[in-house]
Amino acid sequence: MSIQTLIVGLPAPKPLRLGETALFLDLDGTLAPIAARPQDVRPDPRRTSLLERLALSLDGRLAVISGRTLADIDRILEGCVVAVAAVHGLVRRDPDGQVFESRPHPALGYATEALRAFAARDTGLIVEEKAGLSVALHFRLARDQAEAARALARALAAETGLALQDGDMVEELRTPGASKGDSVRAFMVMPCFAGARPVFVGDDTTDEDGFEAAQALGGMGVMVGAHRATGARFRLADVDAALAWLEAAS
């Protein structure tokens, strides 16, 4: 990944020109507000309708790329997006509906048990298992445990060889393999995406690979949220701003 810089006053993106765009969207913090518990994010008629319109206008050049499982993405988006990369790219469903999954890391069960034992100390700690490929420890509801949670995740990654994925009030241990950037590149060689200009919209450091991949292919990255160090070239203030920007194009 390229070195990220903090650009104060990062500009808002110009209106989307859907005829030339391949659109890649993160979910949490981009299409849906961050919730204290992952399960609290639910379907939303405004979001579903928007994605249905975008899929039609883009002639299928739309994909959601998220850290969530495929089943959870389909639950939240009511199955309205076919092309999906889940678990940060370890699971991919192509536009024709074919699903490809990475093989799970053998130490994932051990790491899951260690995180569950740690989570027993505070009811605000949440362990989220992701399709047998990854496990996340959320501490948004137990912020005083953040330092200890990060230290444990780093130690487990070093011990097991699992990949450590830092996020917004979450530490994730995942099977090493495809990233969000790899997912963008995989989609962009498919016939319905090929030749379009990739635009990746995301909010978290987990989206930086996606920004980099889109920009390397002649497109752009759009960060959602407060200013931070990023490789994206444009920024939208929050989820409502992101939805409004997408709605203006649809």
Per-residue pLDDT at 47 exceeds 60: yes
Confidence check: pLDDT of 175 > 80: yes
Q: Which of 26, 72, 182, 204 is catalytic?
A: 26
pLDDT of 2: 41
> Region 81-109: what's the mean pLDDT?
97
Give pTM, 2 decimals. Answer: 0.93
Instruction: Over range 73-94, report the average pLDDT.
Output: 98
Domains of the chain, earliest start first: 18-102+178-249 (3.40.50.1000), 108-174 (3.30.70.1020)
Average pLDDT over every residue of 71-81: 98
Q: Please tell me the predicted confidence (pLDDT) of residue 8.
A: 54
pLDDT above 50: residue 83: yes
119-136: pLDDT as tens digits: 999 999 999 999 999 999
* 1, pLDDT greater than 80: no
Question: Can you give the pLDDT at residue 227?
Answer: 87
What average pLDDT does the chain have?
94
Active site residue 28: no
State the average pLDDT over residues 26-41.
94
Q: Check pLDDT > 60 for residue 182.
A: yes
Q: What is the 3-state secondary structure (H, E, C) of the chain?
A: CCCCECCCCCCCCCCCCHHHEEEEECCECCCECCCCCHHHCCCCHHHHHHHHHHHHHCCCCEEEECCCCHHHHHHHHCCCCCEEEEHHHCEEECCCCCEEECCCCCCHHHHHHHHHHHHCCCCCCEEEEECCCEEEEECCCCHHHHHHHHHHHHHHHHHHCCEEEEECCEEEEECCCCCHHHHHHHHHCCCCCCCCEEEEEECCHHHHHHHHHHHHCCCEEEEECCCCCECCCEEECCHHHHHHHHHHHC
Residue 52 clears pLDDT 50, i.e. is over it:
yes
Residue 150, pLDDT > 70, answer yes
Is residue 3 over pLDDT 60?
no
The 10s digit of each residue's pLDDT in 96-119 is: 999 999 999 999 999 999 999 999
Q: What is the reported pLDDT for 98?
A: 97
Query: Would the pLDDT of 5 be above 60?
Result: no
Q: Are strands 83-86 and 62-65 parallel, antiparallel or unpaired?
A: parallel
Angle subtended by helix axes 180-188 and 208-216, to nearest 10:
30
Q: pLDDT tens across 206-238, in order? A: 999 999 999 999 999 999 999 888 999 999 999
